[in-house]
Each structure stands twice: as C-alpha cells, then as structure tokens.
Chain A
Amino acid sequence: KAGVTQTPRYLIKTRGQQVTLSCSPISGHRSVSWYQQTPGQGLQFLFEYFSETQRNKGNFPGRFSGRQFSNSRSEMNVSTLELGDSALYLCASSVTGESTDTQYFGPGTRLTVL
C-alpha cells in the first residue's frame, strides 16, 4: 500500500506571497493532520480534518488554513508568508484520527521564505 505523499517536496517563496501544500493520505485513511517542524519550536500541530471537516485546530494564526476533499486528500494554505514560516510541513494520515490510532507521516514539504 502506498504511503502518505506530499507535494511539492521543496518550495522557495518570498515574504508576502502565499503557498499551497498538498497531501495524499494512505488509501482508506479518512483523517489527515498537519504539523509544522522548526528547530526552535519543534513539532507543532496545525489542524486535523476528517470527512472534509476540520475537527481540531492548533494555536496558529488565521493565515494558516486547510481543507480536505471528498477523496480525503488535503491541502494547507499559508497566506502573507513571513520569514518565520520557514519550516518542514508534515502531513499525517490515520484511519479514524482517534487517540489509539497510528498516524503515518509523509516525507514533508520544506518551505523556505526569503
């Protein structure tokens, strides 16, 4: 079974631009979560989607948004990019999103903001 895929793998943007990242979950998984990884803050939860609905949201500004499609694929968008948004963005999928469920991670999208 194919794993979680994320596109693109690398992105370079400038301040003020916006960016869209894509995530395709493992087949049959309905929950998709997004995490930001930085050297200073570590791994932080952004949001989680299940059946096209956002169920949970982390403590990030409104510039960070996401959505999920009927095939469970998910996108996240960051508007008005800031230097501090440079990070590895990881997507994870699980069958149900419940606490006992394993989240499987993709390879990440490395975003650099200049």
Chain B
Amino acid sequence: GDSVTQMEGPVTLSEEAFLTINCTYTATGYPSLFWYVQYPGEGLQLLLKATKADDKGSNKGFEATYRKETTSFHLEKGSVQVSDSAVYFCALSDRGFGNEKLTFGTGTRLTIIP
C-alpha cells in the first residue's frame, strides 16, 4: 500500500538557518504530493503541492520538488523565522478509484530559536 516516510523530529534551528525536512514515499500509481503545516491548536493548512514528476511547489519561501526517480519530496526553506515553528506533514494522494485519500507521514516538529 501507499506510505510516506518523513524525517524524525523534533528539529530545532536558529533563526535564518537553512531548513530541509526529508520525505520519501511509496505509491502504486502516480500520486500527488503535499506538504501541510499544523500550528498549535489548529487544523492542517496546505503549504504547497506538486501533482506530477519534476513539478516544484512553492509558498511563503518554502519549496519542494517532486522527484519520481528518488520517490522524494523534500521540503526546503532558505532562511527560517520564529513564526515557522510548527509541525510539518508530508502527504500523498494516489490516483485510481478509492486511492485518493491522503496518506500522511508521521510529522516533523520544527522549533525555531531567535
């Protein structure tokens, strides 16, 4: 079945540091890939997505590229801020009837220190 493996947390960085959160996936078809972010006490917010190989999703300084050859969708940001502290989830949605549900990774808690 489909699965998402995400970098174990927690991750603690200083403000303005470079961020990478690794994500790899296993899927039977050609999935769409997503990064969601969850702030304390809230639901999930879409951060970015990519729906086919070599697509790059970007938003708020975050980027991730859909790499079919390495089955990866790593999240990066060049300079993190304190406000980026949150839990980040990598997810996929596979094609094919009945497979469209989101399959999530375990989440990576990110803390940015001023």
A residues touching B (Cβ–Cβ < 8 Å)?
4, 33, 35, 42-43, 45, 48, 55-56, 58, 90, 92, 97-108
Contact = CB atoms under 8 A, between A and B. Distances in A.
B51 A100 contact: yes
**Size class of B's contact patch?**
20 to 34
Find the residue from B31, B93, B94, B103 having the highest chain A CB count within 10 A: B93
A103 B47 CA distance: 11
Interface string B26-60: 00000110101000001111100101000000000
Nearest to A4: B43
A45 B32 contact: no
Interface string B76-109: 0000000000000101011111111111111100
Contact of A106 (B43, B51, B107): B43
Leading 4 A-B pairs by shortest Cβ distance: A43-B104, A105-B43, A99-B93, A105-B44
19 contacts: A33-B101, A43-B89, A45-B102, A45-B103, A48-B100, A56-B101, A58-B101, A90-B44, A99-B31, A99-B32, A99-B51, A101-B93, A101-B100, A102-B46, A104-B46, A105-B36, A107-B42, A107-B43, A108-B42
